[in-house]
Structure 1
């Protein structure tokens, strides 16, 4: 029996949800695929799948086998890809990358065409979500996330810090005016806040000015757990938002968002690219990490220029000047 072939067949069946779709994706007959899985079950001497006419589920042993099989196949792919990289000096293969929504939508996806021009033989499976992922359990090669990294079992490369701004739409400003002090945000204005995937709690807002610091948890009209939706809420006049300059920059320049309380600083968000320390890292991951580092460096320079141009404005338009 081709054990690796049978293992891959079993994994494909589980991912597809049934034998028919798995066989179609592999370009083989359903009967052949069924035979491979049956031979694998005979080899391990226990059923891996529960089959009925309506549904298919994994047995307890099947679940354990599936988790290990996914990792084994990924390790083999990594090993073969690394050998090919060394032989052909051309990084190739699949990368599973997971990024936060803001960084994915406003930074990485717009630049990926450039990456693929440089490395046409690298395939990227990109997960875009603010939800935390398990690097090992989800078989992810690397993640890009904001915040501090405390897990000692991973390698974290610092990409810099994402600056933050507070902003509203012109429509909101016309109807409600603009906050002139942090207390206005706490007591008078409609605020769109962000809540944690893990705890369900909304964020506290922290603002600093000339050594003065204030922290409060505003009453929100809407709380969101997706950073792109946060921007959309602000653009549609739902309230005052706190967001990254990466996400807001083009809207601030076009006037679709107005920066408020510009004299107050929102603490910047540290951001890292993180990957497992116990996995061999092939050339495709190395070149991707290097490309990400350079992308963030260039973006930081661009945003610094934009921040200077925004700071050069004598005043932020008020509700009165907006008509």
Structure 2
């Protein structure tokens, strides 16, 4: 049987308003009354309704994360940080996996408005005007992760262009002169464009060719990494080192090279991006440019809950050296 607040109040011999105040941590009752009401709640197994409580406290203690169909390993690292920080602060997390056409995103935003979530973490996707207006109308706080927008919304991310530049320069410093790149979705302004820009800029600064045919596009995933590596080998048969826009693409490239009998790093060096668990589990273990994914999730929660200044954060990237890059 599902008990109501009215049932709790009747058994405890107090008003419904008193039960509500106790549940929401408000004042106006004795310690004895509080103990009696909490005892009745335990005995009855009463579960307070978050929406009903929110009508008084203006808080449902729930956060939502909206993320597209991105790399599952990438997302899981960020979400681990989000959930850890949220639960430490007494919040629950709703995860909404959106689609590219925007229809599902708008449906989720309507549902989140009806459920009166306190904050939204918007991840790895473009914040369109339609999304922005819907979130603004619901009054929930908002923070972006691994993306930024033209609106005055705080974000948490790394400098993708600089990270790609540093990864490419690392390969050059190891003596490689014929470089290629496996990139994410062509035209994607969030991750693809800045990483391609960093790759090309590094090559130009080191006096190396930065032709477009040295870039093979995919979708950040394992299968597309293998397919892109196949295309790159046809276009640049003398390629010595490859910068991959994600660890999963890099692992796909490693798989393709293994099937072809091409040694890594003996014949071709490979470097990834993100430092997900895939990088550690790869064979050979993948050298990669690390994003602090777990910390990005934790800091996003701090910002969206107002525990940290609502200013954007550019976090540091760093090289994690393993076994897929050799010295020429």
> Which band: TM-score by shorter chain?
0.3 to 0.5
Larger relative strand fraction: 1
